[in-house]
Homo-oligomer: A and B are copies of this chain.
Amino acid sequence: MPESKPVLIVGSVALDNVRTPFGEVEDALGGAAVYSSIAATYFAPVRLVGVVGEDFPEKHVQFLASRRVDLAGMQKVPGKTFRWSGYYEFDLNQAHTLDTKLNVFQHFRPTIPQQYRDSKYVFLANIDPDLQLQVLDQIESPKLAVCDTMNFWIESKRDSLLEVLKRVDIAFLNDAEARQLCGSFSIIKAARQLLEMGPSVVIIKKGEHGALMVSESGYFSAPSYPLEEVRDPTGAGDSFAGGFIGYVASTDDISEANLRKAVIFGSTLASFDVEDFSLRRLSSLTTKDIAARYCEFKQIAQFEALAANG
């Protein structure tokens, strides 16, 4: 098998305090770029571009480096690392932010190292869309550029976000964000409007209801994994995106059929992520774990030829 194409991931590296009805963690390694990178590394090498402060523990650097994450693009600058504190109540779909300290992230300007500029697979995790544009300006000719975003940018930087959407191939949004951006209650209608804004594929993340991929060629509805207990939803969307783009990069195949499989691999990684706090479960998977859960997704979704394939 040829070496997989690397994935370039740009986004936040954070220290999180998270509390859920099932426990809590303090100063845990987190951030969109970290969750998505760890998920992606099960399929492809990762080039991480982000920023940390002087307080960022060396053990986290070593952990990332040990997982096929190239850190040449991770800046360490004076000041403190980005911090997020939040909690979830029994309705684990809704994160409640207690505090966000941007710290060194406030003045972050992503600089893509020369040796990363030929990256074919690019994931712009949830950051200021102006920074996402700066990243795109530095990449020579991506084969697949994927972006994520959040409600804050939809409100405060709508024009820049629309510019990003014009320039990416795939946009990830959760259902509430899609509704907000498009002013539509129907996520189907919102997804179709999003396609008109630029991307050729839109992937709507629906939490416990799975995901919907919409393109000109049709709809793909992916189930969620039926977990009885979600211990910590932090990073689920990022693990999803990381697993997705990692799988696509590893196969170097952007056909509709392969993107569908990638959505299921993304769902697989997200389902593991939420089983425990921080990166505990996400970082302890085997290839066999992933393959077995992918097969479970097949069992959960199929309604024809059950006997033949099951």
Residues of A near any B CB (own CB < 8 A): 90-92, 185-189, 192, 206, 208-210, 212, 214, 218-224, 226-230, 256-257, 260-261, 263-264, 297-307, 309
Contacts and interface: CB of A to CB of B under 8 A. Distances in A.
Contact of A303 (B218, B230, B260, B303): B260
B228 A299 contact: no
A89 to B, nearest CB: 9
A170 to B, nearest CB: 16
A278 to B, nearest CB: 21
Contact of A221 (B90, B210, B219, B229): B210
Contacts of A257: 303, 306-307
A295 to B, nearest CB: 10
B226 A223 contact: no
A221 B304 CA distance: 13
Contact of A91 (B185, B221, B223, B229): B185
A301 B302 contact: yes
A307 B209 CA distance: 26
B227 A208 contact: no
Nearest to A92: B185
Nearest to A222: B303
Nearest to A214: B226
A213 to B, nearest CB: 10
A188 B91 CA distance: 13
Nearest to A265: B303
13 contacts: A90-B185, A92-B185, A188-B226, A188-B227, A209-B209, A212-B226, A218-B300, A219-B226, A220-B301, A220-B303, A222-B303, A297-B303, A298-B304
A260 B300 CA distance: 10
Contacts of A221: 210, 223-224, 226, 300-301
A263 B188 contact: no
Contact of A209 (B186, B206, B298): B206
A146 to B, nearest CB: 18
B228 A192 contact: yes
Contacts of A210: 209, 221
Given A209-B206, A306-B257, A186 B230 contact: yes
Q: Nearest 9 A-B pairs (CB), nearest first?
A: A221-B223, A209-B209, A260-B303, A257-B306, A90-B185, A219-B226, A188-B226, A189-B228, A188-B228
Given A186-B228, A188-B227, A221-B300, 10 more contacts: A186-B208, A188-B228, A210-B221, A212-B226, A218-B299, A219-B226, A221-B226, A261-B303, A298-B303, A305-B309
